A and B are shown apart, each in its own frame.
Chain A
């Protein structure tokens, strides 16, 4: 049966800044085309781009106390830039769509199956 896959788009500030205007335009166009195709195929569950990590707050609760810090949790150069949630019959199909994102060339796109609340008695 089909499985839902999260396609996580990674970026980093330097590689984004290094893109030319045409490249950025091409990137947007590729995503528009891909979203349209996934919608037409009935595979798209959801998709969105995420705002710049500068807008991120990381929330943690310890001993009933809430603290927030600026920026994403992981201190890496790479950050999560957007995602697609698609429903595919195999992981290879999902990998195929991830590979069509220009982001896969600039940094990387991660493909992760989504956990399911169903199961069989084992």
Chain B
């Protein structure tokens, strides 16, 4: 499929949303689109790309959907009433041929549907990648390191849940839209993180997922160019992904921000991300993605690690703490305060987190404590904390990094 894959993936959400808008039946429409994509991948290399690829895909998808609706109706009829003599066709209105969308783009509606609150986060991610991203089940399964059958079950279950929830294919009412938009952006953020945290340079899947998340959020931004949080999320992804070439060594070991070779950071992405977040902050309603992007921009624009404007980062974390209740923010705030004002001040900020059950046993709290204890000169305490953090993490590269920090403090 490789030659046509970008073209096909670009068309997927529009073809799918055209079918769903016309016929309903999200689950069957999704099936039909996958088959239309497959037909295109088989026929286009031999017959050439049609003049109107989208129209072609919609026509083939519609025909396939009619078949599926007929067999679905027939199956249900057989189950419900084997004696009925009515022809299955009578149960299915043969819809009008739809060639185009009259210029409308339903991608956003489709995203809202895939990020339906009735689904678990894992299912929202899988369905979004498949229906909006146009990835195959095999590609999604490979990215999440699960068997294809597991991912196939997850996707068909998600489709069933949407069907049961009886969602109609339309944008949620204005009042709900903000909350649902939050879920959509969160899912795109999770897809990005799934790709970004994968450490090894040989893992192709990781770069594909971050690329996919960036592509999807760019698509949302085209539809909602004035939304500050969409711009903020895109900026955050660009500014974070810009560091990818520097964040692991040849063996897949993690390199902390302060030790990264900044000359290999992706400058183009940094320039684009910084411009996006600066613009959003100056003219849209403030939100957590914009503030996180602003923090990433301060890091990315420092020529050397020691030039980092920690005072500005502290100020941004104070803003972020006010708009999002997340102990991880407090933890990062503590690091910034330690860098700006010294380890004692940073350690003091960790105390409320011990009482807050959400993070008490988390390896990252222990890792930060270790780091700040080391800064303060308590090397014995630091070593103990590094070792405890290394035991608590379930990430191999993080464990190796924390273990090596402890080894360096070996008395």
A residues at B contact (CB < 8 Å): 1-4, 39-46, 87, 89, 113-122
Chain B residue contacts of A41, Cβ below 8 A: 153-154, 157
Could you list which residues of chain B lie within 8 angstroms of chain A, going by C-beta atoms? 120-123, 126, 144-147, 149-155, 157, 190, 193-194, 196-200, 203, 206, 243, 247, 252, 254-257, 260, 364, 367, 371, 393-399, 401-402
Q: How far is the CA of A73 from the CA of B55 in the complex (A)?
A: 64
Q: Which chain B residues border A116 with CB–CB below 8 Å?
A: 394-396
Contact B198 A117 (CB under 8 A): yes
Instruction: For the A-B complex with A1-B193, A42-B123, A89-B121 known, give 7 more contacts whose Cβ atoms are closer than 8 Å.
Output: A42-B151, A43-B150, A45-B146, A115-B394, A116-B395, A120-B395, A122-B371
Q: Which 7 A-B pairs have the closest CB atoms?
A: A42-B154, A119-B395, A42-B153, A119-B398, A119-B397, A118-B197, A118-B198
**Interchain residue pairs with CB less than 8 A apart (6):** A1-B190, A2-B144, A115-B395, A119-B395, A119-B396, A119-B398
Q: Are A119 and B147 in contact (CB under 8 A)?
A: no
Contact of B157 among A42, A117, A121 (CB under 8 A): A42
Residue of A nearest to B126 (CB): A42
Assess A42 versus B150: contact at CB under 8 Å? Given A89-B121, A117-B198, A118-B395. Answer: yes
Residues of B within 8 A of A119 (CB): 197, 199, 254, 393, 395-398, 401
List chain A residues, Cβ under 8 A from B257.
121
Chain B nearest CB, measured from A52 CB (Å)? 27
The interface residues of chain A lying within 8 Å CB-to-CB of B145 are 4
Q: Are B260 and A121 in contact (CB under 8 A)?
A: yes
Nearest-neighbour CB distance to chain B for A60, whole angstroms, equals: 24
- Chain B residues contacting A118 (CB-CB under 8 Å) are 197-199, 206, 395, 397
Q: How far is the CA of A9 from the CA of B197 in the complex (A)?
A: 31
Are B153 and A117 within 8 A (Cβ)?
A: no
In the complex, A43→B144 CA distance in Å? 12
* Chain B residues in 8 Å Cβ range of A39: 149-150, 153
Report how far A89 CA is from B149 CA in the complex, Å. Answer: 19
Name the distance in Å between B156's Cβ and chain A's nearest Cβ: 8
Given A42-B153, A115-B395, A1 contacting B199 (CB threshold 8 A): no
Q: Which residues of B contact A120 (CB under 8 A)?
A: 196-197, 254, 395, 398
Evaluate whether A40 and B247 lie within 8 angstroms (CB atoms) in the complex, with A113-B394, A117-B252, A118-B197 already known: no
Which residues of chain A come closer than 8 Å to B152, judged between CB atoms? 42
B395 — nearest CB in chain A belongs to which residue?
A: A119
Q: Given the interface contacts A1-B190, A87-B122, A121-B256, does A115 sit within 8 Å of B150 by beta carbon?
A: no
- Measured between beta carbons, the chain B residues less than 8 angstroms from A121 are 243, 247, 254-257, 260
| CA distance in complex: A108, B51 (Å) | 64
Shortest distance from the beta carbon of B207 to any chain A beta carbon, whole Å? 13
Q: A115-B394, A119-B395, A119-B397 are in contact. Are A40 and B147 (CB under 8 A)?
A: no
Are A114 and B154 neighbours in the complex by a CB distance under 8 Å?
Answer: no
A50 to chain B, nearest CB (A): 20
Contact A117 B150 (CB under 8 A): no
Q: In this complex, what residue of B is CB-closest to A41?
A: B157
Central interface residue in A42, A116, A119, by most chain B CB within 10 Å: A119
Given contacts A115-B396, A116-B396, contact A122 B256 (CB under 8 A): yes
Query: What CA separation (Å) do A40 and B157 show in the bound complex?
Result: 7
Cβ-neighbour of B394 out of A3, A44, A87, A89 (below 8 A): A3
